[in-house]
Chain A
């Protein structure tokens, strides 16, 4: 158990809808990362927050947004969903925003868009 909690574990929704994925980092970790894993593209970095502030951005679509709250949990919002958004979404956390600080991943949310 990595200590990173993601909810829900599974989510099934229709095209055009909006969903929110939630992540609670490990106790003491200030940095949160979001990743998307689909069958044809592997694990892709989406966005990183550190202590409530956006720190780095990857290939995140404009339809997607995220935030980190004062209690350090994070939410990833996906809107106007398309079939291609079906994927595993992972959250990871680390103690600090430093290169030598390992990331610890949750077990993901499996999103299915029908």
Chain B
């Protein structure tokens, strides 16, 4: 299964765009890139997913490089409520019995006033 690498933490000013990077250099051709976030101890919230094309929804945009080895989640106008841990995962990881955490450690995004 493809693994992902994300920075441990990032800061963003309120109202500015937050760009969260993710590396998934071993991704397979049929594996999707998914982004979730978790606020405090709430359940992870689905944000967006994509295979190879860029995607946009009401929450965010997902930019996937042409070689699919990395992606960027963009929150266009970050608010304080966007402060959370953001997880980038490859879909095949969601129901595997790997010994490590299924969701990895994610990026802690802190939006500051």
A-side residues, CB < 8 A to B, are: 2, 4, 33, 35, 41-45, 48, 55-59, 88, 90, 92, 99-100, 102-108, 110
Whether the pair A55, B102 counts as a contact (CB closer than 8 A) is no
Using a CB-CB cutoff of 8 Å, which residues 72-101 of chain B contact chain A? 87, 91-92, 94-99, 101
Chain A residues closer than 8 Å to B98, beta-carbon distance: 58
Q: How many A-B Cβ pairs are below 8 Å?
A: 70
Give the most central of B31, B42, B44: most A CB within 10 Å. Answer: B44
Residues of B within 8 A of A99 (CB): 30-32, 91-92
User: Which residue of B is nearest A38, CB measured?
Assistant: B101
Contact with A along B35-51 (1 / 0, CB 8 A): 01000011111100101
Report which of B30, B31, B95 forms a contact with A56, defined as CB distance below 8 A. B95
How far is the CB of A23 from the nearest CB of chain B, in Å?
11
What is the interface of chain B mostly: helix, strand, loop, or mixed?
loop
**B-to-A contact residues, CB < 8 Å:** 30-32, 34, 36, 41-46, 49, 51, 87, 91-92, 94-99, 101-105
Whether B41 pairs with A88 at a CB distance below 8 angstroms is yes
**Cross-chain pairs A/B with CB under 8 angstroms, 6 sampled:** A59-B97, A90-B43, A92-B43, A99-B91, A105-B45, A108-B43
Write the chain A residue with the least CB distance to B44. Answer: A105
**Partner pick for B41 among A33, A48, A106, A108, CB 8 A cutoff:** A108
CB distance from A93 to the nearest CB of B (A): 11
Which of B43, B104, B105 contacts A106 (CB under 8 A)?
B43
Q: Given A45-B94, A45-B95, does the pair A100, B41 have CB atoms closer than 8 Å?
A: no
CA separation between A96 and B14, bound complex, in Å? 37
Give 18 new A-B contacts, CB below 8 A, not counting A44-B101, A57-B97, A58-B97.
A2-B46, A33-B95, A42-B102, A42-B103, A45-B94, A45-B95, A56-B96, A88-B41, A92-B44, A99-B32, A99-B92, A100-B51, A102-B34, A104-B46, A105-B43, A107-B43, A108-B42, A110-B41
